[in-house]
Amino acid sequence: MISVRVRKHFPPGRAAGSFALDCEFTAQAGITALWGPAGSGKTSILDAIAGFLRPDAGRILLDDALVFDAATGVHLEPRERRCGYILPGYALFPHLSLRRNLEFGARRLPRLERRRSVNEALERFELSGAAARKPRELNRAERFRGALARALLTEPRVLLADHPSLGACAPERAECHDMLRRAPGELEIPVLLATTDLDECLEAAERIIVLREGKVAQSGLTRQVIEQPATADVARMLGIYVLLPAEIKALDPSRNSSRILVQQTELSGPYFPGHFLGDRVWLCVRPDQLFARPRDGKPGPNQIPAELIRVTEKVRSVRLDFSGDLAVELPRAEYESQKHNKEWVVEFPPNALRVL
Amino acid sequence: MAVDWFPLWLTLRVAAIATLLAVGAGLWLGWLLAKPPFKGQAILDSAVSLPLALPPTVLGYYLLVLAGQRSPLGRLYEWVTGHPLVFSWQAAVVAAFLWSAPLMIKSVRITLEKMDRDLERAARSLGATERRVFFAVTLPLAWRPLAAAAILAFARALGDFGVTLMVAGNLPGKTQTLAVAVYDAASKGEGALARTLTLVISALVLAALWGVNRLSARQAL
């Protein structure tokens, strides 16, 4: 288990304005994704845990070992922290063979045991045949497995992976996630995965910590966070929602219904607990849960007339962007049958409506 | 024409020892300067670059004052070794060292600053001490540019004239290095000797620069 509370102020530099890291979280065994756009503080957090960045305040606990505590001035050197750090590009030593790279991680062991552990690790990560080769003679997947094996030979208390599959193709990424999940084995340690890729979070991590400008915006089970963003900011970051300013006009808990005003149109939706009449809120809907239909005279219930601005082809669907920040994602077949519409309405199924 | 080859052997010996010292000083000071900024780093940087810009005679004069027979440093040297430093071949070593060390320091600094920091960070995370990081990771990865820098420092040490003349003098058979011997021969009108020595020193420096080129050309590991 790892428990982190850090605060660090970065004065404005040449490349960016001032930045403040201020976050608190814990992570159990298993993969936890640190997700956020570039510059949201992911790498800084990993660096603080590994000991390459000294926060101004806070404390970091790895299991029951205190590795940083501002109050008592504890700040262990990186070599004393036992953090397995998978750096971007994997940082295998280019002048050493794969075996020697692994031996570097097993230095604390006595000579005989070191040989045995390295052999075991090579075997376990299917690298025995590549042991004598230099990193530049290995493919990407082998280099990743090598870096993972090397880090695990130190018997780390936490595994930190900084953008491990950046620039990898889809099958490579799938293998990378698979390795990351299986690698710790009986070590039962937390794995922190820094990434800007939401798909990667869903594929690899049970839990997610959403970072925004150095702060934790939301955390929880990955699927839950993605399906139920807690704030409009998180919903906007996720990039999979349509967000519209709205006002609550009626609420009826007994009939589980509500009326909300969006762009001069009243829509009916389910009851929204925790909100009051007259609240100004964000209506948050997923484009794939909306319908686009041809306009036929007066718009029907829960329909907003809209003007088509752009059509974007996606791998599995077609996205239609409308005036007023509306968007609908349709299966391709559905789009084919509708593409000759002159005028459009966007229909909001009541159960798809959420407010933030 | 009987050529006295003493200046050549002396020069090689002086330059070799000076280069060894320059490599030691260069690794240490260059490493210090490549580290994250600390107080006084800028001043240290300027101070070690001074010999690159000062006139050799001024540098030589400093040495005469600092290490002369009446200075505390000079007396300490004489007490330890039994003979004065100035106007000895050892003084020529000091002169060549001062002349070539700044180049080495600068090269080490640039080389270390260009290193992939992630490799050193990985080593630290794997439990390596700073010493081990330097000798097992940094140095093996940087040996090519560092060897090239050492050869350049050697070439520069070969060619020092001003500082050597000031502190070691021009004593034939004792402190007269190649560069000084060329000056001596030319001023005495011994054209043939001057030409021979000039060719020798040119060939030496050319060989050194060729070595530098070879080392820098194949950067890839």
Give me the CATH number covering residue B60: 1.10.3720.10
Distance from CA of B136 to the nearest CA of A (A): 9
Structural domain contains residue B81: yes
CA distance A51 to A77: 6
Residues A77-100 have a mean pLDDT of 93
Longest Cα–Cα distance in chain B: 66
Fold of A2-237: Rossmann fold (3.40.50)
Chain B residue at shortest CA distance from A156: B126
A317 against A187, higher pLDDT: A317
Is residue B220's pLDDT more than 80? no
Residues B122, A89: C-beta atoms closer than 8 Å: no
Residues A88, B118: C-beta atoms closer than 8 Å: yes
Residues B128, A108: C-beta atoms closer than 8 Å: no
User: Can you tell me the ipTM of this complex?
Assistant: 0.82
**How do the domains of chain A map onto residue ranges?**
2-237, 242-355
Does A91 contact B at CB distance below 8 Å? yes
Residues B118, A89: C-beta atoms closer than 8 Å: yes
Structural domain contains residue B62: yes
Identify which of B126, B129, B141 has the shortest CB distance to residue A150: B126
Per-residue pLDDT tens over the stretch A133-163: 999 999 999 999 999 999 999 999 999 999 9
Q: Model confidence at B218, in pLDDT bands (50, 70, 90)?
A: low
* Residues of chain A positioned with their CB less than 8 A from the CB of B140: 95
Residues B128, A79: C-beta atoms closer than 8 Å: yes
Q: Which two tokens stand for residue A110?
A: 């006595």
Looking at residue B173, what is its pLDDT? 85
CA distance B81 to B63: 18
Per-residue pLDDT tens over the stretch A310-352: 999 988 889 999 988 899 999 988 888 888 888 899 999 988 8
Distance from CA of A160 to the nearest CA of B (A): 11
Cα–Cα nearest to A50, from A2, A100, A98, A90: A2
- Beta carbons of A174 and A203 less than 8 angstroms apart: yes
Q: Model confidence at B198, in pLDDT bands (50, 70, 90)?
A: very high
Does A157 contact B at CB distance below 8 Å? no
Structural domain contains residue B168: yes
Residue type for position B68: G
Quickly count: other Cβ atoms within 10 Å of residue B170's Cβ: 16
Cα–Cα nearest to B126, from A176, A32, A77, A162: A77
Chain B residue at shortest CA distance from A109: B127
Helices and strands counted in chain A (H then E) = 9, 22
CA distance A114 to A104: 10
Chain B residue at shortest CA distance from A149: B126
Looking at residue B219, what is its pLDDT? 54
Chosen for mutation from A97, A104, A136, A137 (greatest number of chain B CBs closer than 10 Å) is A104
Taking only Cα atoms into account, the Rg of chain A, rounded to an integer number of angstroms, comes to 25
Length reported for chain A: 356
Residues A233-243 have a mean pLDDT of 90
Q: What share of chain B is helix, strand, coil (3-state, %, to 5)?
A: 80, 0, 20
Residues A46-67 have a mean pLDDT of 93
In angstroms, what CA-CA distances link B52 with A150, A326, B115? 45, 67, 25
Does A143 contact B at CB distance below 8 Å? no
Helix A111-124 vs helix A98-105: angle between axes, to the nearest 10 degrees? 120
Q: Which two tokens stand for residue A267?
A: 């829509």
Mean pLDDT, all residues of chain B: 89
Q: Model confidence at A98, in pLDDT bands (50, 70, 90)?
A: very high
CA distance A283 to B25: 67
* Residues of chain A positioned with their CB less than 8 A from the CB of B127: 79-80, 82, 105, 107-108, 154
Chosen for mutation from B116, B126, B131 (greatest number of chain A CBs closer than 10 Å) is B126
Helix (H, G, I), strand (E, B) or coil at B21: helix
* Residues of chain B positioned with their CB less than 8 A from the CB of A94: 119, 141, 221
Distance from CA of A205 to the nearest CA of B (A): 24
CA distance B107 to A327: 58
- Full DSSP string of A4-31: EEEEEEE---SSS--EEEEEEEEE-SEE
Residues A34-46 have a mean pLDDT of 92
- Beta carbons of A208 and A32 less than 8 angstroms apart: yes
- State which residues form the domain around B103: 6-217
B interface with A, Cβ–Cβ below 8 Å: 116, 118-119, 121-129, 136-137, 140-141, 221
* Residues of chain A positioned with their CB less than 8 A from the CB of B121: 50, 52, 78, 85, 87, 91
Residues B122, A93: C-beta atoms closer than 8 Å: yes
Q: Model confidence at A103, in pLDDT bands (50, 70, 90)?
A: very high
Is residue B221's pLDDT more than 50? no
Residues B127, A150: C-beta atoms closer than 8 Å: no
Number of structural domains chain B divides into: 1
Residues A34-63 have a mean pLDDT of 93
Per-residue pLDDT tens over the stretch B8-63: 999 999 999 999 999 999 999 998 998 888 888 899 999 999 998 899 999 999 98
Identify which of B122, B127, B140 has the shortest CB distance to residue A91: B122
- Beta carbons of A51 and B121 less than 8 angstroms apart: no
Structural domain contains residue B1: no
